[in-house]
Structure 1
Amino acid sequence: MEQQTYKRASFADVVKYSFGGIGSNMAFYLVMSYLTFFYTDIFGIDTMVVSGLMLVSRFIDAFTDPLMGMIGDHTVSKMGRFRPWIVFGAPVLGVLIFLLFTAPDLSPTMKIVYAYVVYIAYSLASTVVNIPYHALTPVMSEDPQQRTTIVTWKQGMGTIPQFVVTVMAIPMVDFFGGGATGWAIYGAFIAIITTISFWICAWGGKKYDVCDEKTIQQAKQKNNFNFARDMKLLLKNKPMMMLMIAFGTDVLANATCSAVNVYYFKYVIQDMSLVAQVANVTLWTGIIAIPMLPILTKWLGKRRLFWWGEAISIIPLAVLWLVPNPSVNLIMMMSMFAFWGFISKFPSFLGWAMLPECSDFAEWKFGQRADGLMSSSLTFVNKFGMAIGGFIASFFLGLVGFIPDVPQSEAVCSMIGFLRFGVPILGYVASLISMWFYEITEDKYKEIRRDLEARHAQAEKNV
């Protein structure tokens, strides 16, 4: 397998494309970290209603996400297959982010209607933009190592939203006036950044997402859009299914602890100032992990690094859960959060880095790539894990009698601790089990790439 035979993206285009990491993660972190809190403590919606909203929207995504992936795969336009959806969908997504964190003065019933309509519309817009964005990764480059570098840049850009949201959200909301007004202005700020970032991302993919004459002819030959057939391709792809489960349970773990993070410091630790401090620590340790990703994947391989990242992430969470009041020993608490922030980043990064491997496996095994469909499956489990994490947090808080802005009972505080640390541990264990059955090792992937290169070379000769 000759390295120089791979088509590679220029460094400038990789950087421009990586701005999608900002656009994608702005809303992701904002919704995961604060939407449940915003709905209950700012908008005044019951926790059970919030949990129901999360579930309903995911049932819709179960259909629309793979459908969008297939639509992207079958799109043929002057702007390419995936870029049109990013360019025209980004401003719509931006408007819906603003509406998502706007709290109009409505009756209790109309508040619920508003929340359902806006959240479901936001979820659909996110699907239209994010699935084509992720599908561009294997289109940008055929080089397996550069693909990891591209994902590293994407995830590296994702630390900017992490800072803007997890560290700066509360101070910025307060700066903008606090309450409903502060959140609405902050939502508009996030919306503008999201839209511009996705436009820059689409600019970076311009040279690579093209529909030339060859592409158009191939599209005509495959002009048989078939939902059932394409879904069968996904379900037969065992590595993709194992990756979906492992990545989804990892997201569920992180989403659950994020959804109750503010509750944990507000009601259990009773020190809201620690929200920004802990977020800052986990942010910077996560930044340290980013440049180490390509190095560690070359040394350990993606599958092994994913597995060990999940396993070791359990340790700091278990320590923080078992210590009755970790804030008494602030150095220990910050050290555990820092360690968790560092090691848990690797599985989060690697899901997207392993996605092109699964697309290559599909082409190698079944003769069809379906980059959009594969990306949609991972985007779906990403949103599904995030929503189920939010549902678990809202449902169980309501189950034990949580009431906003009052001192909580011991049962509620214990439940918050379990949701903050216990549920994530269970999610990581599920990821470990699934990743054990992921069959694309480094040697296996080299074999796949050799076979694909030989097929491509033969196809070029036959043209």
Structure 2
Amino acid sequence: MNHKVSLREKIAFALGDVGCNFIWTVVGSFLTLYYTDSVGISAAVVGTIMLITRILDGVSDLGMGVIIDHTHTRWGKARPWVLITAPLMGIGLILTFSVPNWLSENGKIAYAVVTYILLAVIIFTACNLAYSTLTALITGRQDDRTSMTSIRYILVYAVMILISYTTMPLVEDFGWTGMSVIFGIAGMICLLITFFGTKERNIENKKNTDDNISIAKSFILLLKNKYFIVITILFVVNFINMGLTGGVGIYFARDFLGNSALYGTMTFANYIPIMIGLFAFPGLAGKFGKWKCMLVGYILEAAGYLIILLAPTSFPMVLLGLAVRGIGHVPNSAGIYAMVADVADYGEWKNGIRNEGLTFSATSFGTKIGTGIGSAVVGWGLALGNYVGGATVQSASALESIKALYTYIPLAVTLVGIIAILNGNIDKIYPTIEKDLLERRKSKE
């Protein structure tokens, strides 16, 4: 349980999320634009596709959590699924961004639905949930979990910046399909490094007596874990906002700031403070606790949205607001994943049953439902504002919708996050949890 993780293994672990984001950041930031402006699907239909798919996706997360908990191989519980899905992630991305031009309007919609469900509901769910579960399986040390997630997000935000600057130039040079081939291969390679560079150790019993627990009882116990409910809400909050700002960000840059190429700089201003802050986060979390850091983080994120609202057409003010929001997001990106591992420990401590896969379904469930709602609201909001795909100039109502999607709505969602985190301080009891679990496991040796 208390194995010290090497820097090399932490980096190998972190590259798995880099691989996931070569797929998912492209989908979250550019798929709506691809569907509306290149394929010609209406924004309202796009929003509906996003929401329905992500609801199905959220259900599949729970099922995949059970599958991981009942997986036992010489590679462990989660790593085999990372290996299996690594090439499928690239293939799914390529298919999603390759809607045939010769299809009818309804044919294009049907193709979009099928390929998006394949990627999001099946492939990405299996891959990302297995990857996230590794946080608890690699080590039981709380400090290592925090540093692992910090390194993870330093690299993730670096690749997000890369994607924000390079996606549209790659599309111009190679088309949407060519771009997806490049990012799909990169994602596959990173995930394979995670498989070969990590090891599962924090397993209570390789035979895992939890297999005797029914699926229904596992769900009941999970829903009685109040920290699981809180962490799920926080994931939904975080990823609604990521779905909103990521999906409408390029529209905001083009129609409010006058140049879509500024989207890369906006992403840079938001993510560089996060990357720098992640170096300091393990020390801050060790001194003040993850919970306090996350509470302050949500307050700063709200302040960032307010700054943008003061002058939404001023590039310097937008960059300032994004930077403040980025600083606030530091604990809410690294801290939240480390906290899920703590929630898994709490479940074992409270009920004597350790279901990492099902507990970590909160991460994937919240990711999918959150980004699904965020992406759907982007599509519906654009449609409500009478956005016209491909138009040189948008109407006043379309511009107002873009502003609301980028500022007002994320601000309101962030306030929900503040309320949720106030009800989820697991830090105050975690030292007791850690001590008791260590004693239990020693007594079984």
Common fold: TM-score over 0.5: yes
1:358 aligns to what?
Answer: 343
The question of 1:424 aligning with 2:410 is answered: yes
**Shift in Å, 1:8:** 2.3
Q: Which of 125, 128, 138 lines up with 1:127 in the alignment?
A: 125
**Is the contact made by 1:282 and 1:340 (CA closer than 8 Å) also made in structure 2?**
yes
Secondary structure class of the residue paired with 2:206: helix
- The 1-side partners of 2:67 and 2:435 are apart by 29
How many angstroms apart in 2 are the aligned matches of 1:256 and 1:324? 16
The letter of the residue matching 1:440 is: I
Instruction: After TM superposition, give the deviation of residue 289 of structure 1 in Å.
Output: 1.5
Q: Which residues of 2 match residues 236-251 of structure 1 at below 5 A?
A: 236-251=224-239
Deviations 1:2-45 (A, max 9, x none): xxx82222332222122112112222211111111111011111
Structure 2: runs of 5 or more not aligned = none
Which of 92, 109, 112 is matched with 1:112 structurally?
Answer: 109
CA distance in 2, matches of 1:72, 1:159: 27
The match for 2:72 is: 76
Residue matched to 1:399: 384
1:193 equivalent in structure 2: 186
Change (3 A) 1:362 1:222: closer
- Which of 19, 30, 46 is the equivalent residue of 1:34? 30
Which aligned pairs between 1:186-225 and structure 2 lie closer than 5 A? 186-206=179-199, 208=201, 215-216=206-207, 218=208, 221-224=209-212
The CA deviation at 1:337 is 2.2
Deviation at 1:335, TM superposition (A): 2.4
CA offsets, 1:396-429, max 9 Å, x none? 2112211112211111111110110111101110
Q: How does 1:302-317 map to 2 (within 5 A)?
A: 302-317=290-305
Structure 2: how far apart are the matches of 1:257 and 1:15? Answer: 28
Gaps of 5+ in 1: 177-181
The secondary structure found in structure 1 opposite 2:390 is coil
Deviation at 1:288, TM superposition (A): 0.9
Q: CA–CA distance in 1 between the matches of 2:312 and 2:281?
A: 34
Alpha-carbon distance, 1:91 to partner: 0.7
CA deviation after TM superposition for structure 1 residue 207, in Å: 5.7
What is the CA–CA distance in structure 2 between the aligned matches of 1:201 and 1:207, rounded to whole Å? 12
Cα deviation, residue 382, structure 1: 0.8
SS of the aligned residue for 2:425 comes to: coil
Quick check: 56-65 or 81-90, which moved more?
A: 56-65
1-structure distance, mates of 2:318, 2:58: 39
Structure-2 separation of matches of 1:245 and 1:128: 21
Give distance in 1, aligned partners of 2:329 and 2:12: 26
C-alpha distance in structure 1 between counterparts of 2:423 and 2:58, whole Å = 24
Q: Which amino acid aligns with 2:23?
A: A
Pair 1:18-2:14 in alignment: yes
Letter in 2 for 1:190: F
Q: Is 1:140 matched with 2:131?
A: no
- 1:209 is displaced (CA, Å) by 7.8
Separation of aligned partners in 2, 1:210 and 1:352: 18
Q: How does 1:141-180 map to 2 (within 5 A)?
A: 141-176=139-174
- 2:432 matched residue in structure 1: 447
* Equivalent in the alignment of 1:280: 268
d(CA) in 2 for partners of 1:210 and 1:247?
A: 25
C-alpha distance in 1 between matches for 2:148 and 2:129: 16
CA RMSD for the aligned pairs? Answer: 1.8
Q: Deviations over 1:414-449 (max 9, x none)?
A: 1110110111101110000011000312x3110111
Q: Which residue of structure 1 lines up, in the alignment, with residue 394 of structure 2?
A: 408
Query: Does the C-alpha gap of structure 1 residues 324 and 288 become closer, same or farther in structure 2, counting only changes over 3 Å?
Result: closer
Shift of 1:312: 1.2
In structure 1, the partner of 2:332 is 347
User: Are residues 1:59 and 2:55 paired?
Assistant: yes
* Partner Cα separation in structure 1 for residue 179 and residue 169 of structure 2: 10
8 Å CA contact retained: 1:42, 1:103: no
Q: CA deviation at 1:172?
A: 2.5
Give 1:357's aligned amino acid: D
**Map of 1:226 onto structure 2:** 214
Corresponding pairs, count: 442
Distance 2:8 2:329 in 1: 29
Distance in 1 between the 2:210 and 2:245 partners? 44
For residues 292-331 of structure 1, the aligned pairs below 5 Å read: 292-323=280-311, 325-327=313-315, 330=316
Select between 279-288 and 425-434 the one with higher mean Cα deviation: 279-288
SS at match of 1:272: coil
Whether 1:435 and 2:421 are equivalent positions in the alignment is yes
